[in-house]
Amino acid sequence: MQGSKLYVGNLSYSVTNKQLEELFSTHGKVQSANVIGDKGFGFVELSDNAEAEKAKEALNGTDFEGRTLKVDEALPQKPRTDRRY
What is the DSSP secondary-structure string of 8-74?
Answer: EES--TT--HHHHHHHHHTTS-EEEEEE-TTSSEEEEEESSHHHHHHHHHHHTT-EETTEE-EEEEP
* Max CA pair span of the chain: 45
Residue 85 has pLDDT above 70, yes or no: no
CA atoms of 33 and 42, how far apart (whole Å):
7
With cut-offs at 50, 70 and 90, classify the pLDDT of residue 1.
low
Instruction: Write down all domains in the chain, each with its CATH number in brackets.
Output: 5-69 (3.30.70.330)
Give the model confidence (pLDDT) of 22-74 as tens digits: 999 999 999 999 999 889 999 999 999 999 999 999 999 999 999 999 999 99
